[in-house]
Every structure is written in C-alpha cells, then in structure tokens.
Amino acid sequence: MTLSISTPDLVRTDDKRIPVYLLTGYLGSGKTSLLKSWLAQAEFKDAALVINELGEVGLDNQLLSSATESSALVANACVCCTGLPGLAEALEDLFWARLERRMPRFPNLVIETTGLAEPGPVAEALRSSDLLNERYRLAGVMTCLSASTADAVLKQHAEARAQLAGADVLIITKTDLVSSENLAALHLRVQHQLAHLELEKPPYLLSSAGADLSAEDLLSSLALRLTLENQASLPSAKALAMQVVTTPLQSKHALHLHKPGESCAICEQGHAHVHSAQALWWPITSKLSIDALQAQVSELQKTLGAELLRLKGRVQTAEGRYVVQLAPFETQAEVCADELAWTDSTRSGLTVIVSSHLPEASAHYLVQQGISSLGVDAKT
C-alpha cells in the first residue's frame, strides 16, 4: 500500500504559516511554462520561488527572473536527496529576508523541483524540521505529466511514477500535441496506473494546453480534493484495474497494466531505484550558426538515444540569441528567440542531462563534442 505523502491544508483559516506549493514532474513536462503563467495571476502574485536545477547553470530561474522579486536557486543537486540541505537553507534565508523586510512580504511560496525529484522526501522535510514546520505548511503537491511522452516516461522512469504517486493534483500538460481520442485514452491509462498504486487519496486530474491551466482552477481543485471521496472523484480501483484498454498509442512504451497485487517486474525494479543521471555542460560559441547547432543536437540524439534525458539552455549563435530545449522522447529540439537580458555572467551553452551509466563509446563521444562537467574555463 502506498501512503499519501501530502495533506493540503487549504481550508483552515487559523494557520498563519506560509503556504508552500510543491511543483514536480519529469524532465521536460512543462513545469516552468505553467509556473510562469501562474505567477502572472492574482493567486500567486508576489509568491516566492525556490527553483531546483540539476546543472550548475540554471535556466528555469532565468526564465522566471522577471516574475518575482523573491527567489532562490538550489543548483547542481536534486532537492529530494543531495539537495535537501540546500532547500532547507533556501527556505530559511527567504523567511528571514521576508521577516527583516529585505524582500517583499510574499504570501505563499512555490518550489519547482528538478525533473528527477520525488516529492515524498521534500514533503517529509517540511514536516520533520521544527524550524521549517513552524514557518511553512505544505499546501499541495502538483505533478506535471506531458501528454505527448507520458507512456514512455512512466514506463521507463521510476521517478515519474513516484511523482505520480505523490501528487495531490496531476496535470496532464501539452494536451494540444495529441489528438482528443489519444488524450482520452491516456487519461484512462493514467487512471489504471493510479488504481494499481492503490493510493489512499488519488490525485485530482487536470489538463493544460499551452500552459493555459489557471491558478484559480488549480487551487480550487486542491481544495476540492479535500472534500471528495475516492469513489466520487475517480472510478473505483477495482473497475479501473479490470478494464482492458486498447489504443493506437499502446506500444512497447505504453503504460504497463495489471491487477493490484500482481507481481510486476517494472514496479519492483523501481523500488530499489536511485537517481542515475548526471548534468553536463556544452559551451556554445557565437561562431556557430543556429542550423549547425540544431544539426549537432540531432546527431547527439542519434548517438545517445534514450541515454539523453534532457537538454536546455541559452545560446549565442552567429544569427542571434536563442533558448533551446529538448524533452525526453521528443524528436526535435524547441528553439525560440531569447528575449531575456544578457549580462557578463550569462553563459552561452546547454545543460545536457544524461544517464550516469553511459557506455564508454558514448562518454568518449561527449568528450569529443566538448560536453563535460562544468569547469572554470566553461564560460566560452
């Protein structure tokens, strides 16, 4: 039996602690786009942010830099394990800066985790630390799941399944990238997965196309989840587990379905899971054209295959400045004009997240391309 890890406290009015919203979701699931939209709305106006990045050069914190005056970056670590001390320190620093009026008096706080973070340890840290528990309360866990890659992500990555299990609200993102028929089938398969997890309180399901889920709908769903019985919010676990689903999206990457209690090699492998990813740095010089960069990214995809988990960053090319992002299982990198200000400390390059268990040939290829751990000379 999987235990619920969060108990949102949206209905009490006597709790004066700062509400904390934990935003999770696997690499490339659209967390930052949604968060940027919410921060422009009344419900999260003046919210404080803690952004967690795996690489030493953060992108999400730069993309959100204009959205709030109260923010902190926990870089080069994952807040559900090695980055927990950094998260606690960031929360303490923000609290004291707020109390001493060194920053605006933020009404709530959002933690955006890395795509590999499991919400359970973060939620437990907020409860178990006397200092944090006196000042903050966990108000909800929101997990993002990309509609276009959900099947592959949930099958192949235990972290994504842990994020699913720990959610109060599950947001199916990027729904504009799939057909309505495939989206309906995906919702049903996700419900099967949730039934298998036998959660005490399954998450409330929401959808988002182009980051259009409003903050009002999000908070209303969190509140509603507190009052609905499982049978009212979702079909019964027995009915979901016994139903057979056949859709065009089913393939070797489709969600694995079985009755609760049955032996499952995929799930059993996940129980012993530890993070198996590393963040590397790929410096990009201004002499490179954007077409040449896209060609190199495509070659990187072909060479590494599933070992390439994520790619993102800001680059200066011969034609101009761009933001480049590639999510897991997507076939082409997203390239858009970089409208953020550049400073002397801005690095042109890409954070490349890869499997820690790279074959020797793949590791050698990365070195040949100048992709390695960030060093003092990586400001090119």
Question: For 277-368, CATH number?
Answer: 3.30.1220.10
Greatest CA span in the chain, whole angstroms? 60
DSSP state of 115: T
Let me know the angle formed at the C-alpha of 66 by 332 and 141, rounded to the nearest 5 degrees.
Answer: 70
- pLDDT at residue 372 tops 70: yes
Cα dihedral 176, 179, 181, 182 sign: negative
pLDDT value of position 257? 38
Q: How far is CA 232 from the centre of its chain?
A: 28
- pLDDT at residue 4 tops 90: no
Q: Say which CATH topology domain 18-266 has.
A: Rossmann fold (3.40.50)
pLDDT value of position 275? 65
Per residue in 68-85, pLDDT (tens digit) is 566 677 776 777 777 788
Per residue in 179-216, pLDDT (tens digit) is 999 999 999 999 988 888 888 888 999 999 999 999 99
Average pLDDT over residues 25-43: 93
**Adjacency order of strands within the sheet including 334-337:** 277-283, 349-355, 308-316, 321-326, 334-337
Pairing of strands 308-316, 349-355: antiparallel
pLDDT value of position 68? 59
pLDDT value of position 67? 57
**Adjacency order of strands within the sheet including 169-173:** 71-74, 48-52, 109-112, 18-25, 136-146, 169-173, 204-207
Q: 């509140």: which residue's tokens?
A: 223
Residue 354, strand partner residues: 278, 308
* pLDDT > 90 fraction of the chain, expressed in percent and rounded: 51
Q: Which of 21, 14, 32, 169 is nearest to 109 (CA)?
A: 21
pTM (whole model) above 0.85: no
> Structural domain boundaries of the chain?
18-266, 277-368
Q: How far is CA 209 from the centre of its chain?
A: 16
Confidence bin at 228 (pLDDT 50/70/90): low
- pLDDT at residue 95 tops 60: yes
How far is 12 from 254, CA to CA, in rounded Å?
41
pLDDT value of position 56? 72
Which has the minimum average pLDDT: 3-12, 246-255, 271-280? 246-255
Q: Which of 219, 20, 48, 221 is nearest to 138 (CA)?
A: 20
Per residue in 150-185, pLDDT (tens digit) is 999 999 888 999 999 999 999 999 999 999 999 999
Residues in the chain: 380
Segments in 237-289 forming alpha helices (H): 237-242, 265-271
- pLDDT at residue 118 tops 80: yes
pLDDT value of position 173? 97
